[in-house]
Structure 1
Amino acid sequence: MLLLIQAGRAFARNIPAIVPNISFLGLDLSLIPLSDEDRFDAISTMFLQQKRLFTMRFGPIMLLGTCHPELMHVLLTHPDCLEKPFLYDVAGYENGLFSAKYNLWKSQRKALNPTFNSKILNSFVSIFESCCRQLVSNLSQCEDGGTVNILDYTSKCTLEMVCSTTLGSENLQKDGKNAFLHGVEQIFDFISRRMLNIHHYPELLYRMTSTCQEDRAARKVCKEFVEKIIKDKRDQASQSAEPEDVDTQEEHFRKPQLFIDQLLSISQIDRKFSDVEILDNIFTIMAAGNDTSGLEVAHACLLLAMHPEIQEKVFSEVASFFPVEEEEEINADYLKRFEYTEMFLKECLRFCPVAPHVARKNLVPIDLDGVTIPAGNVFVCSIYALHRRQDFWGPHAELFNPENFNLEHCKARHPAAFMPFSTGTRSCIGGRYAMISMKLMILHIVRNFKLSTHLKTSDLRFRFGITLRPSFKHLIRIEKRTNHA
């Protein structure tokens, strides 16, 4: 068996390898005794020290790693590298876009791409606006000048956004709503914990843990709630099945196009989505939407508080355009006016990419960096390390600076040096959704509150996890702006 393993790895003999400091029977044990923060630092350093392709160990498995933009772009856009490896299996919901194997994912993604077109995203703006106003109202109830964990508020806001655009706000008023929302949060947490514990990967071992029982209970509650909504939606559709004329369709696009309605519509006229596929994709969209927007806006608020001069630039721009004239509708095109705010948000995504690492498996042999790599190998790409490479971002890559995204710097930089939502056909389907919702949240927060903190950028340390979270809470002092000044 050992000879077979060695023969299978022969292709890698000329690829730089990370030699573990602590090993036993060939297993890398060097990361086990480290804290989450030290583990994250060690892995980031490992990627940054290896400028191109290298090998590393995950238990008995050899992985290939890189943070080079050219290699990452080739891997993530390669038509034969679209499979998700075993690392994603523990998430469950294998009939949804996040965890689905290649063949199922391919047919689903083709059918679902139109559900995130510009017209549909514009139809969500009214929902986003309503949730942002509620966010401001919730923050206004805090002590003026008091300190809050801003993530508690941004995650609640984005969960309301994603639930409303996925299921419909009227469904969140039904019995079981609170249990459903609590269950969603629990499931996200359980997935994160299991993915980071290799001894929880075997299903038999995981079933022996108390976490497994809690995980199953949360999934059962959420499944029953969504199944009831699916049934109600199908009943409504069967009662109003008459075709719409062109004018009615145009008016229809001005109303929020709920994701569950889109899924059911696809099931009727195009690719057939089963109930389990509908359920799994709803959770995929909800998980991605909540983690991406809620966490990143909390990061953004912390960075605004750390950099008062940048906060004032954002506020000046917001004050110039917001509020809009009453007759002017807020939509994605209107939001393009906030150019500096967008530069700021992109720098937040560079500095704190929500998903610090992505992984892929090649389905056939591929040539990469002068090496022919057999099928079935697992690649890990570090977006976090990519965004901190001094050879692409300059000698001050560790500093937070929105000017990294002015037109001159963007033109001079490698086009693949920035990929906050991954890249290629298996990138995040909701990237534009996230940018619209995040920009609106920042506009409303900065317009109504002044943020400050005693923390500095140099204090930022992150914990190793699926998503990028700091080692401390997003504690921010908020002061109400008088007359938005």
Structure 2
Amino acid sequence: MEASWLETRWARPLYLAFVFCLALGLLQTIKLYLRRQRLLRDLRPFPAPPTHWFYGHQKFLQEDKMEKLEETVEKYPCAFPCWVGPFQAFFFIYDPDYAKTFLSRTDPKSQYPYRFMTPCLGKGLLNLDGPKWFQHRRLLTPGFHCDILKTYVDMMAHSVNTMLDKWEKICSTQDTAMEVFEHINLMALDIIMKCAFSRETNCQINSSLDPYVKATVELRKIIFYRMYNFWHHHDIIFKFSPNGHLFQELSKVLHQHTEKVIQDRKKPLKAGMKQDNTQKKKYQDFLDIILSAQAENEDSFSNADLRSEVNTFMLAGHDTSAVSLSWLLYCLALNPEHQERCREEIRSILGDGSSITWDQLGEMSYTTMCIKETFRLIPPVTSISRELSKPLTFSDGRSLPAGITVVLSIWGLHHNPAVWKSPKIFDPLRFTKENSDQRHPYAFLPFSTGPRNCIGEQFAMLELKVAIALILLHFKVTPDLTRPPVFSNHIILKPKHGIHLHLKKFPKC
């Protein structure tokens, strides 16, 4: 009688391996099923937009259409669950009371999107938690003291004037249409390199940092699409995908640039020499401070920590400022009456703008209101997220269990019609002292709030005031209605195809 194939020596191990893998797969399937059922149960008190059983709200998240989010905010008060695939859900909130409850806790930052950023940025203030985050925050905070920020005004003005010189060569006294975001992006990078790293790059003239700028743009796109594509949440699948290969190559560009900045500063120190321009400098820049922090805390502040903080501040410090200034310029172009009122205020304070001081910038009250209204209308960072370390109960009695990822939608909060009257209208008077005092303290959060608020808030506001003041003194801006900007929400809300404006240069007196 012929023996069964299972009785042969070579077949039994394969059969056992097959049964083992089948059992593991079955256990994993049961685990995922139970996870989905638990999420459905926990999120039942909160209605949600229609969802696909397998893809969830993935299409909604990846469309870059902020109008869809506005419709959802209006239809589902306070919050809604948002599914990414069948087994993962984020909980979006956009109500001031919900935001207050959420931000008054100390939950760790969510792994989304930060775990996807770590391979290219490392672990800095942006994605650290616990005692390590507290240590870094304490060490780096002195770099943003007002006495240091005051020394940046002249350097910022110099970078802005370099950009304006380029614009004047392109423009005449007639209207000239041009794409401004690329120019502003290089100008913001020039500022961060000068102020934070005392480094003259000349990047606005010779575009020497083009590979770095392009790498940051592409990396952000990849991170965003990975975040909302549940297949690519698995490191192995992502690593062997085309985007995974590109991600590794682009990360190398970032790391090489950062390492060069650090080593160029360390070289004279290793040689026992003073740093370049030490006698000319009257302040410690950002790099001075973190190098000092490393020297004093060698055991707890490693070379990896140093690279991470330089990476984080270099990227976040120029990117958000460039986006904010671009949207501010666009909003003022769309609203000429507010643009003119800002210009009149700036002229009355700065004259021809040949010199700018810290105190003068503090007098620009109406311009500051326009900056804040732009942050409300088009927040550069559209959301922040945390993973609940313990259950959370909102002011209306509804609760969430530990483990849920909560996303505070800053865009949704700033466009919530229950909070802001006519939220789509640009109205700087929302930020008069009287109106601000009457508003919920958690209704306007462009820089977040509490202990984890943005450390660079004052730096960003200073840069915006210097830049918009000098631009409006030299140019009148109007929108190019044939090419309206399109939102591209890749972590930071960028213009997808740039911002096209008509610029008219004022004749020199």
TM-score, normalising length: structure 2: 0.83
* Matching residue of 2:91: 64
Q: Secondary structure at the match of 2:178?
A: strand
* Matching residue of 2:408: 381
* Matching residue of 1:291: 319
Deviation sequence 1:7-60 (CA, Å, 0-9, x none): 4654433x2131424333xx41x542897344x332332233222243221222
* Matching residue of 1:73: 100
Q: Is the 8 A contact 2:294 2:306 kept in 1?
A: no
Distance 2:58 2:471 in 1: 39
* Matching residue of 1:236: 268
Matched, 1:391 2:423: no
Distance 2:156 2:136 in 1: 26
- More deviation, 111-120/347-356: 111-120
Q: Is the 8 A contact 2:387 2:403 kept in 1?
A: yes
Q: Is the 8 A contact 2:182 2:498 kept in 1?
A: no
> For 2:475, which of 440, 449, 458 is the aligned residue?
449
Deviation sequence 1:257-292 (CA, Å, 0-9, x none): 321111001112357421121111112112212221
Distance 1:45 1:325 in 2: 43
Extract structure 1 runs of 4+ deviating beyond 4 A: 177-181, 238-242
- More deviation, 64-73/364-373: 364-373
Matched, 1:146 2:210: no
Residue pairs, 1:153-302, within 5 angstroms: 153-170=183-200, 172=201, 180-197=209-226, 198=229, 199-237=231-269, 255-270=282-297, 272-302=300-330
Matched, 1:304 2:332: yes
Q: Is the 8 A contact 2:110 2:385 kept in 1?
A: yes
Q: Is the 8 A contact 1:73 1:416 kept in 2?
A: yes
Residue pairs, 1:104-123, within 5 angstroms: 104-123=132-151
Q: Is the 8 A contact 1:194 1:200 kept in 2?
A: no
- More deviation, 424-433/177-186: 177-186
Q: Secondary structure at the match of 1:391?
A: coil
Distance 1:35 1:373 in 2: 26
AA at the equivalent of 1:387: H
- More deviation, 475-484/146-155: 475-484
AA at the equivalent of 2:189: L
Distance 1:211 1:222 in 2: 16
Does the C-alpha gap of structure 1 residues 203 and 411 become closer, same or farther in structure 2, counting only changes over 3 Å?
A: same
Deviation of 1:391 (Å): 2.5
Does the C-alpha gap of structure 1 residues 139 and 200 become closer, same or farther in structure 2, counting only changes over 3 Å?
A: farther
**Residue segments in structure 1 that go unaligned for 5+ positions in a row:** 243-248
Q: Secondary structure at the match of 1:267?
A: helix
Deviation sequence 1:403-435 (CA, Å, 0-9, x none): 111122111111111111122222221111101
Q: Is the 8 A contact 1:188 1:287 kept in 2?
A: no
Deviation of 1:453 (Å): 2.0
> For 1:469, which of 485, 494, 503 is the aligned residue?
494
RMSD: 2.9
Deviation of 1:76 (Å): 2.2
Q: Is the 8 A contact 1:194 1:201 kept in 2?
A: no
Deviation of 1:220 (Å): 2.3
Distance 2:430 2:369 in 1: 8
Q: Secondary structure at the match of 1:23?
A: coil
Q: Which structure has the larger Rg? A: 2
Q: Secondary structure at the match of 1:288?
A: helix
Identical columns (%): 23
Deviation of 1:352 (Å): 0.6
> For 2:357, which of 315, 330, 333 is the aligned residue?
330
Does the C-alpha gap of structure 1 residues 146 and 421 become closer, same or farther in structure 2, counting only changes over 3 Å?
A: same
Deviation of 1:305 (Å): 1.2
Distance 2:215 2:123 in 1: 20
Deviation sequence 1:193-250 (CA, Å, 0-9, x none): 33223143322222233443343333324423432442343343456699xxxxxx9x
Q: Is the 8 A contact 2:388 2:403 kept in 1?
A: yes
Q: Secondary structure at the match of 1:389?
A: coil
Deviation of 1:84 (Å): 2.8
Does the C-alpha gap of structure 1 residues 160 and 325 become closer, same or farther in structure 2, counting only changes over 3 Å?
A: closer
Deviation sequence 1:341-389 (CA, Å, 0-9, x none): 1011111111110011211112233333424433221001111111122
Distance 2:49 2:154 in 1: 53
Does the C-alpha gap of structure 1 residues 45 and 212 become closer, same or farther in structure 2, counting only changes over 3 Å?
A: same
Q: Secondary structure at the match of 2:360?
A: helix
Distance 2:253 2:353 in 1: 44
Distance 1:381 1:48 in 2: 16
Does the C-alpha gap of structure 1 residues 399 and 451 become closer, same or farther in structure 2, counting only changes over 3 Å?
A: same
Distance 2:307 2:256 in 1: 10
Does the C-alpha gap of structure 1 residues 475 and 363 become closer, same or farther in structure 2, counting only changes over 3 Å?
A: same
Q: Is the 8 A contact 1:461 1:471 kept in 2?
A: yes
Does the C-alpha gap of structure 1 residues 450 and 238 become closer, same or farther in structure 2, counting only changes over 3 Å?
A: same
Distance 2:99 2:74 in 1: 14
Matched, 1:412 2:433: no
Distance 1:482 1:324 in 2: 12
Does the C-alpha gap of structure 1 residues 456 and 443 become closer, same or farther in structure 2, counting only changes over 3 Å?
A: farther
* Matching residue of 1:83: 109
TM-score, normalising length: structure 1: 0.86
Does the C-alpha gap of structure 1 residues 64 and 411 become closer, same or farther in structure 2, counting only changes over 3 Å?
A: same
